[in-house]
Amino acid sequence: MINAKYIFKRSNSLKGFFSTNSASTDAISALDSWSVQKDSWNYRIEEHEENSLVAILSLDESESDVAGVKLQDACEEYGIERTYVPG
């Protein structure tokens, strides 16, 4: 099992620009969209602010490549960018 921390913020994309939701609301939507794709993909919110969200993602190590691609797709769909937080 892999655990990784990410911070999610509004991207500079058109979807992000035109969103009427807060960045954290769209980040939760992206994470929900991602996590329902596999039972082994989960997240836990660590910090929740209007303009950002910090979450710890959990997934099986063997699925890390496909999970990353699917998470990126979900983030782009909601106008969100993610940054890995080491540690």
SS (H, E, C) the chain: CEEEEEEEEECCCHHHHHCCCCHHHHHHHHHHHHHCCCCCCEEEEEEECCCEEEEEEEECHHHHHHHHHHHHHHHHHCCEEEEEECC
CA neighbor of 74 nearest in space, from 12, 26, 4: 26
pTM, whole model, 2 decimals? 0.93
pLDDT at 4: 95
pLDDT at 87: 78
Low-confidence stretches of the chain (pLDDT beneath 70): none
pLDDT at 14: 86
